[in-house]
Amino acid sequence: MKRHHSNFSFPCGRTAPAALSRRQMLQESALSFGWLAAAGLMAEQATGVEPKLSSHSPTAKSVVFLFMAGGPSHIDTYDPKPELTRLDGQETPESIRKNFKATAMFGNGTRKLMASPFSFRNYGECGLPASSLVSHTASQMDELCLIKSIQHDTVIHVPGEYMMTTGSIAGDRPSLGAWINYGLGTENENLPGFVVLGGGPRPTYAPSFLPSEFQGTAINAAEGIPNLKLPRAMSQAQRQGQLGLIKNLNQRHLARTGEDSELEARLRSYELAFRMQMAAPAVFDYSKETEATHKLYGMDNNATREVGIQCLLTRRLIENGVRFIQLRVDGWDSHDDLIDGHGKASGKSDKPIAGLIADLKQRGLLDSTLLVWGGEFGRTPGVEKKGGRDHSPGGFTMWMAGGGIKGGQAIGRTDEVGYTAVERTLSPADVHATILHALGIDQYANFYKHQGRREIATFNGGEVIKEAFA
């Protein structure tokens, strides 16, 4: 289903026809916003006019952002450093420290260096290295494009999460998922266009100044969509009658008070909720999946079951037209005992993520689905406390796969021990621009007029990482 538009600016800068004001439409229409959506869609189909978000064809239809909260260590996953092994237990050499953009921002460079406690080996035909922490995902290395030089300027967790999901450390901008939902909407009118699994701080999936309808819908994977089931004594007809009454009262209120995006979004959410009560239970019922599929995602093991369910539901949501899925896995903040902390975080997520890649591939969905993996920052080469590592946003690794991405390659480089990016330094805005590009969206064309400004997702700049694509 194409997205519909109200009288706020179209992504390409057009505005809705003004034959009737919103107040008049609310007063005169008995069919409410469902009619508005249908009318907008019919008008587009009749005239052939659609928002021109880009001049290029998309390489992906949907995006899965696998967010590893807490900061996975790049030098213990996908960015091995032989020099770090050689210097184990020594102070960071001045020849390396002088490259730091700002020591305070990129971790404590005076701490003694600590070699990775995990073993590395090469994977796939491409021969790129990865550690035992991510051995399952690394088995799909020929599908992965490693980006080893992401950099930003905050060492604090929550601002770092905001930076990676909204482009701003303040968390006061629309999340990338909300921008994409605004630009493209969902292909399935019975499901949200933007789904969040695993939770996280609300600004990481909030709409900010975009209309509220474009925010992410947070879902508990074990229970499905909250409050979706009807009360035991209520029929579908009774619920439809309730919603009709609520809709009528809200419309009358809007007609008196004028535009209110929060209330308008609530009206649409009621209608969506009713449709979901009919369609969503089947999507979230994975009981009929084969035993082999359950094992592929690690659902037969207590350690991997939770993330396995989330990853399996991700595949089912993609099959049903959901545009953007944000899946959060926490537990990566290993200041103490890196072996235990990262071991547990990877232990619950590595196999399910590998299973998701393999399952999408075997079902012919990987080519149209862009997967993005990474956290809010990496970790320092220096040892902290009892065998842990500190936060380091100076240079860390993310990867992309599917959706037109050229796998089996690495982009960018950090210094000899992994403190800071020294080659092809890239920002979160560059990652966002690349994701938008994969979906066929020109980052400058998908704008929203707010307080007299043309706001875009990549407001701090951002260039498409062109070499990431096949």
More confident: 95 or 200: 200
| pLDDT for 245 beyond 60 | yes
| Domain limits, the chain | 62-224+286-468
* pLDDT classification of 114: cutoffs 50, 70, 90: very high
Q: What is the mean pLDDT of residues 80-89?
A: 97
The reported pLDDT for the residue numbered 328 is 98
The reported pLDDT for the residue numbered 274 is 62
Instruction: Given CATH 3.40.720, say whether it is the number of domain 62-224+286-468.
Output: yes
Q: Tell which residue, 327, 350, 341, has the closest CA to residue 385.
A: 341
Here the tokens at position 203 are 């600004």
Q: Residue range 333-361: average pLDDT?
A: 98
Residue 106, pLDDT > 90, answer no
Least confident of 23-27, 158-162, 342-346, 405-409: 23-27
pLDDT value of residue 377: 97
pLDDT interval class at 6 (50, 70, 90): very low
Predicted confidence (pLDDT) per residue in 377-390, tens digit: 999 999 988 899 99
Give the residue from 447, 469, 441 showing the smallest Cα distance to 459: 447
* Model confidence band, residue 1 (pLDDT cutoffs 50, 70, 90): very low
Q: Is the pLDDT of residue 345 over 80?
A: yes
User: Mind listing the pLDDT tens digit for each residue in 272-324?
Assistant: 666 666 667 788 889 999 999 999 999 999 999 999 999 999 999 999 999 99
User: For 138-142, 179-183, 253-257, 349-353, which range has the lowest pLDDT when averaged over its residues?
Assistant: 253-257
Average pLDDT over every residue of 121-142: 98
Q: CA–CA separation, 461 vs 313, rounded Å?
A: 34
Q: What six digits make up the tokens of 112?
A: 């003694």
Q: What angle do CA 167, 169, 175 make, to 5 degrees?
A: 40
Indicate the pLDDT class of residue 234, thresholds 50, 70 and 90.
confident
Q: Is the pLDDT of residue 27 over 60?
A: no
Q: Which residue has the higher pLDDT, 414 or 267?
A: 414
Average pLDDT, the chain: 85
Residue 225 is predicted with a pLDDT of 62
Question: Please, which pLDDT band fits residue 39 given cuts at 50, 70 and 90?
Answer: very low
Mean pLDDT to the nearest integer, 200-227: 87
Average pLDDT over residues 234-252: 75
